[in-house]
Amino acid sequence: MDALEAMETCTAMRYFKEEPVPKAELEKLIYAATRASNPGNSQGWEFLIIDDPAIKEPVGEKVLAGMAPFFEARPEGRDGVEERMLVGAEHLAENFAKVPAWIVCMARKVYPPHDPQESFMHSTIYPAAQNLIVAARAMGIGTCFTTFPGNAEPEIRELCNVPDDLHLFVYVAVGYPEREFMAVKRKPLEDVITWNRY
């Protein structure tokens, strides 16, 4: 599969088989992530891989408790795509501990060295996380970017002894897909391109 095809079919996967993803495959995803462009090649990223049920279970309980009011307030009558996304997100939160691995993409505030800025942490971590999910797709592994586990950040920090200077940005669910990958649905190019002048 070439890179473009992987991007075209890299749908957020919220349904996973329980089969573990081998350590070498998870490390390959981090290899892909760390090939990304980043500010001044400062590489202020780190990746916490959580596959231990003794961590996933208590974190999953906290995540679900935090998300319950959101899911209960879920409005009726949304269109098909949005409804599917919300149902999928709820499934993922309910099955947090059964997801084979969670990769927490983190960054340190290190760039530029003379005056480190928060915005450069975002510039560091998102290209890397995108590399990770596209590589996973090409390897037949499903992923879903999530931010909702952020409500369990204190528990994750404590259970995983995360150093204080690491900032947690995005939590990527990783596993073999239980559903088909599909083509992503995006705006047509004519809606997003301007040549030279508006």
Ligand X SMILES: Cc1cc2nc3c(=O)[nH]c(=O)nc-3n(C[C@H](O)[C@H](O)[C@H](O)COP(=O)(O)O)c2cc1C
| Dihedrals phi, psi of 112, to nearest 5 degrees | -75, 150
Per CB under 6 A, the list member of 15, 70, 71, 145 interacting with ligand X is 145
User: Please, what's the b/e burial string for 159-183 (b: 16 or more CB within 10 A of its CB; e: otherwise)?
Assistant: bbebeeebbbbbbbbbbbbeeeeee
Q: Which is nearer to ligand X, 119 or 196 (CB)?
A: 119
Q: What is the DSSP string of 93-105?
A: HHTGGGSSEEEEE
Contact of 59 with 96, CB cutoff 8 Å: yes
Contact of 15 with 91, CB cutoff 8 Å: yes
| Dihedrals phi, psi of 56, to nearest 5 degrees | -60, -35
Q: Which is nearer to ligand X, 32 or 170 (CB)?
A: 170
Q: Which is nearer to ligand X, 26 or 170 (CB)?
A: 170
Binders of ligand X among residues 57 to 86 (CB under 6 A) are: 85
DSSP 90: H
Q: How far is the CB of 69 from ligand X (least distance, A)?
A: 15
Residue 196: helix, strand or coil by DSSP? Answer: coil
User: Please, what's the b/e burial string for 25-49 (b: 16 or more CB within 10 A of its CB; e: otherwise)?
Assistant: bbebbbebbeebebbeebbbbbbbb
Binding part of the chain for ligand X, among 59-67, 110-118, 141-149, 190-198 by CB under 6 A, reads 141-149
Binders of ligand X among residues 177 to 196 (CB under 6 A) are: 184
Q: How far is the CB of 87 from ligand X (least distance, A)?
A: 10
**Binding residues for ligand X, total number by CB under 6 A:** 14
Binders of ligand X among residues 14 to 53 (CB under 6 A) are: 14
Q: How far is the CB of 107 from ligand X (least distance, A)?
A: 13
Q: How far is the CB of 163 from ligand X (least distance, A)?
A: 23
Per CB under 6 A, the list member of 29, 92, 125, 134 interacting with ligand X is 92
Q: State yes or no: residue 170 binds ligand X (CB under 6 A).
A: yes
Which residues contribute to the site for ligand X (CB under 6 A)? Answer: 11-12, 14, 85, 88-89, 92, 144-148, 170, 184
